[in-house]
Amino acid sequence: MKREVRICGFGGQGVILAGFIWGKAACVFGDLNAVQSQSYGPEARGGAARSEVLISDEKIGYPRPTGVDLYVAMAQEAFNTYRDDLHENTVIIIDPDLVPNHDIGRPIYKVRVQKIAEDLGNKIVTNIAMVGAMAGIDDLLDPESVKKAVVDSVPKRFIDLNVNAFERGLEAGKNARPE
């Protein structure tokens, strides 16, 4: 039982935090092993950024993905850049508002996570809504563990906002179908 996950977007969008939460949910609030790595472009903000998480019930040797099982994109440039190593069963999740050109001839889960964040009044939680969507679509992690990891990883005064984003994302994820 293992999952190789890549979350990508542009710098400043919080993809590193999203990966961090995913890994923490697996190994601190769940009993799986997890390794998270990341890479930025040269700029701290803007430019394509990615965060990669390997999750397994076995010891993880090589810590980078060798074939991505869950691919999550929150920006067009990142979607175009970090897609070389998908396989035929890779689950793909995007926000269609952020990745408008996503027709690559295969089914994709489309969740409007930025819209969820905007509805909550703060675009900053787009990444957390996406974490919710991931938890709704991929069943490897218990959504409760992921929620605990969210609560544990965001500033205390923003816990409610983040939990709301997570839960709405989760709901949207559960209802999403690949199209």
Number of residues counted as binding other proteins (CB under 8 A): 19
Binding span for other proteins by CB under 8 A among 59-67, 80-88, 110-118, 161-169: 59-67
**C-alpha distances in angstroms, 94 versus 42, 137, 159?**
24, 12, 24
Q: Which of 11, 23, 132, 136 binds other proteins (CB under 8 A)?
A: 23
SS3 42: coil
Q: Which of 35, 113, 117, 137 binds other proteins (CB under 8 A)?
A: 35
Helix or strand run (H / E) with residue 78: helix 76-81
**How many other CB atoms are there within 10 angstroms of residue 85's CB atom?**
13
Nearer to other proteins, 22 or 109 (CB): 22
Beta carbons of 40 and 66 less than 8 angstroms apart: no
Told to check if 150 binds other proteins by CB under 8 A, we report no
Q: State in angstroms the smallest separation of the CB of 61 from other proteins.
A: 4
Overall residue count recorded for the chain in this entry: 179
Residues that bind other proteins (CB under 8 A): 20, 23-24, 27-28, 33-39, 59-64, 66
